[in-house]
Structure formats: structure tokens, C-alpha cells
Amino acid sequence: MKNGLVLLAAGVVCCIGAMDASATAYAIKTIATHEDGRRETHEYPLDVSNGKGTFVLPAKTVGVGVKRLEIIPSFATAEKGETGYFILPEGTLGSFTKTNGVYSTGEGRNYMPFYGMKTPRDTFCMIAKRMSWRYATRVVVKKGVYQVSQMYNLNGDLPYEDFELELRSFRLMPNIRRWLASTGTGSWGAVR
């Protein structure tokens, strides 16, 4: 139970962090690898309203015959040497110190169906609302650039439900940023 509390506390910290005033585009790219080896890529804007972003991909859109589906948020990136961290569903907390590498949680290790990042540009949590137990979270680092994504191993089967992700980002919550700035709280970093 102690580890669960630490993970929950880390998740809360992940949702509260430093911000700058520059804009971030919220988009989701999907890469479907079919059983015959064909790859299909699509990009979708994130539906942003009421202080959160939502991405829904109907199961019937994915269909039968997709071996693997990767969901890649455009904003889940960082660079080597940046301040901040990433947190993964099984409790891994990492910093941005590598030049190349891959880390994957493995399917079934999503003890809490979310992941997040804190970078100089954004602080967010991505919550898997549906298809929440069937993915592996991956951190891929190439030439010092970090990308966090979700990988679903579908094995050609029709997904058992629609995919739904919910983004909670400081950029989408201006009232919280104003409140933190008005309290003079410096413990969460510079809030603009």
C-alpha cells in the first residue's frame, strides 16, 4: 500500500508543475501496423474543452487486422538535459539524461492507467479512460529527444472497446495557474 500512495502522490505532483507562456499544439498521431506489415499513420487534433483534452478513437475505426497500434501525443516530448521528469503507470520516475534508449512498462503493468511529464513547456497527465489495461507505455529516446507513447498489442483482433484518453494539462487550466500565482506559492516552480 505504501508504494501505491507514493505513486498517487507522484501522479498529483505530475499534474502540478512549472509552466511558461508559450503555446503548445495538442495533437495525437496513431501508427497502426497491420498483420501484413503495412503501416498506416493518422494525425488527429485533441478535442479541448472545459479545461481538458479528449481523444477518442472508435474500435471500429481500428478494425480487425491491426497487429499493433501506437498512440503518440505530439506534446509528450522532452530533450536531454531539460529540467523535469516523466512518470509511468507502474511507478517509474525518470529524468532526461539519456541520449538514446527505449524503456517500456510492458502490457499488464499499468497499475494506474496514466502517465505524465513535467518539462519547461508543459506539465500534464494523460489518463487512459478506456482500453486502459491493454497497453504498454513506452519512452523512446533518439539523439537526446524523448517521446512518451502508448503501444497496444492487438494481435489482429477487434479492440474490445473504443480508445479514450483524457489530457489534464496546466495549459488547459488557466484558473489554477492564476490561483497559484496569486498565492505566491513557489514550491511548484514558476507559474505564469
Q: Is 25 within a domain? A: yes
Find the helix or strand (DSSP H, E) in which 151 lies.
strand 145-153
Q: Is 154 within a domain? A: yes
Q: What is the mean pLDDT of residues 36-52?
A: 91
Q: Is 21 within a domain? A: yes
Helix (H, G, I), strand (E, B) or coil at 104: strand
Question: How many domains does the chain divide into?
Answer: 1
Other CB atoms within 10 Å distance of the CB of residue 122: 25
Are the C-beta atoms of 152 and 68 separated by less than 8 Å?
A: yes
pTM of structure: 0.78
Q: Which residues touch 87 (CB under 8 Å, ≥6 apart)?
A: 10, 11, 14, 93, 94, 115, 116, 117
Q: Is 184 within a domain? A: no
Q: Which three cell numbers stand for residue 147?
A: 517521446
Give per-residue pLDDT as tens, 119-151. Answer: 998 889 999 999 988 899 999 999 999 999 999
Q: Is 167 within a domain? A: yes
Candidate from 76-80, 107-111, 128-132, 185-189 with smallest mean pLDDT = 185-189
Q: Is 191 within a domain? A: no
Better pLDDT: 50 or 37:
37
Whether residue 3 has pLDDT greater than 90: no
Q: Is 116 within a domain? A: yes
Give the chain's mean pLDDT: 81
CA atoms within 13 A on the CB side of 127: 12
Residue 19 belongs to domain spanning: 2-179
Q: Is 192 within a domain? A: no
The residue count of the chain comes to 192
Candidate from 17-26, 128-137, 143-152, 178-187 with smallest mean pLDDT = 17-26
